[in-house]
A and B are shown apart, each in its own frame.
Chain A
């Protein structure tokens, strides 16, 4: 599903899938990685979720 979203350039789906992966991540590093991915695709899309994702990254010292 993730690869399909990448192949299709479906930014909404990519944001959702990476955000979901972040919520299920088992390590801080993995969580940071997935949150970053979700944030970037939301930013590209002009998706309003980018703001909340940025806040999460800042709270974790990642932005």
Chain B
């Protein structure tokens, strides 16, 4: 298996893609997850999922129980959704925490900042302290998190370098968009379920090679040659276009632009994956974020959120824009599902890449492979 990954990080002309096992073998996927989804900054949700102070939402990431919460001061936090007493799940459904998070089992209570604030009857009936139970050391286990473009990224194992450091180049690339962006609300979010490993949704998003075949409607105004590859080895990848066409409502009405953008963005737009599982779009008048939630080795739930430059934009246009994007993303479902099914064919060796067209895809495969190799290396050192 080691040699297989060395082949993935080879130059694109000779490289192969990740072996089938990373898509169909549970043990391989579990090892990969330690290095990739849990070892880097993975997308978990968006800030709009918990819009008000006290809003709490339980989320399971491949069986890991997490609790997303906006604390009483408005800061977004992610905790393990597990009581420090007997390991009970604390919050079962999205809801507002008015005061404290009370465990439904023995009613240990936590503040929205994770502090253990009450341990009823812990010293016997009506006695609410005990010398052996130190509240200061029994707060909820917090997972490092960071918000960028409203996406809540988490580093489950806590070993990654700070998000701003890891993604400094990407943040700088899109610094012109470092300004308020507003979630379009309930009509600007939807989910798509796909029977595929999440990595296949990533690679499909990264490249423009498939556009004329899978999205033929684009051919009339956005040709293959109007796109460029974005390859930043060991960082991120995606695609850009020189002919971004703004959505227009009736009478040619358009969404308001983000402020102060340079001329590059007049007709340019970029679509980049923040590895391992967040798909982003930067466009002059709106953007979106897609969180790929891996439900299992061969099931992915895509959470799509669309953002605008103003807090209120025309609702009719907004709804139509959502429908347009949904149609585009649905066109990709058969591809990502077909690639998943194709990987049950034992003769498939990870596949070859077009050096001209598949740079962003190879960039992603190589990034995954390198994370796994690094993880194996650190485990080997720890075992010595």
Is B100 within 8 A of A44, CB to CB? yes
How many residues on the A side are at the interface (Cβ–Cβ under 8 A)? Answer: 21
Q: For window 96-140 of chain B, which residues contact chain A by CB distance below 8 Å?
A: 98-102, 107, 109, 117-118, 120-121, 125-129
Would A32 and B125 be within 8 Å (CB), given that A40-B107, A43-B118, A44-B109 are in contact? yes
Would A43 and B102 be within 8 Å (CB), given that A33-B121, A36-B121, A37-B120 are in contact? yes
In the assembled complex, which residues on chain A have CB atoms less than 8 Å from the CB atom of B101?
44
* One of A32, A42, A45, A47 near B126 (C-beta < 8 A): A32
* One of B99, B121, B126, B129 near A43 (C-beta < 8 A): B99
Interface residue SS majority, chain A: helix
In the assembled complex, which residues on chain B have CB atoms less than 8 Å from the CB atom of A42?
99
A7 to chain B, nearest CB (A): 13
- Assembled-state Cα–Cα distance A46/B99 (Å): 4
Q: Mark A42-63, 1 if CB is under 8 A from B, else 0.
A: 1111110010000001000011
A19 lies within 8 A of chain B by Cβ: no
- Assembled-state Cα–Cα distance A28/B86 (Å): 28
Is B128 within 8 A of A36, CB to CB? yes
A10 to chain B, nearest CB (A): 13
Would A40 and B120 be within 8 Å (CB), given that A46-B98, A46-B99, A47-B99 are in contact? yes
- Assembled-state Cα–Cα distance A33/B128 (Å): 10
Q: For window 11-50 of chain A, which residues contact chain B by CB distance below 8 Å?
A: 28-33, 35-37, 39-40, 42-47, 50
Is A40 within 8 A of B126, CB to CB? no
Interface residue SS majority, chain B: loop
Of A36, A37, A45, A47, most buried by chain B (CB within 10 Å of CB) is A36
- Assembled-state Cα–Cα distance A20/B199 (Å): 58
Is A63 within 8 A of B99, CB to CB? no
In the assembled complex, which residues on chain A have CB atoms less than 8 Å from the CB atom of B100?
43-44, 46
The chain B residue sitting closest to A41, CB to CB, is: B102
In the assembled complex, which residues on chain B have CB atoms less than 8 Å from the CB atom of A57?
128
In the assembled complex, which residues on chain A have CB atoms less than 8 Å from the CB atom of B129?
62-63
A25 to chain B, nearest CB (A): 10
Is A33 within 8 A of B125, CB to CB? yes
A21 to chain B, nearest CB (A): 12
In the assembled complex, which residues on chain B have CB atoms less than 8 Å from the CB atom of A32?
125-127
A29 to chain B, nearest CB (A): 6
In the assembled complex, which residues on chain A have CB atoms less than 8 Å from the CB atom of B109?
40, 43-44
B358 to chain A, nearest CB (A): 54
- Assembled-state Cα–Cα distance A28/B125 (Å): 10
12 A-B pairs (CB sep. < 8 Å) = A29-B125, A30-B126, A36-B120, A36-B126, A39-B128, A40-B118, A43-B99, A43-B117, A44-B98, A46-B99, A46-B100, A63-B129
Shortest 3 CB-CB contacts between residues of A and residues of B: A32-B126, A46-B99, A46-B98
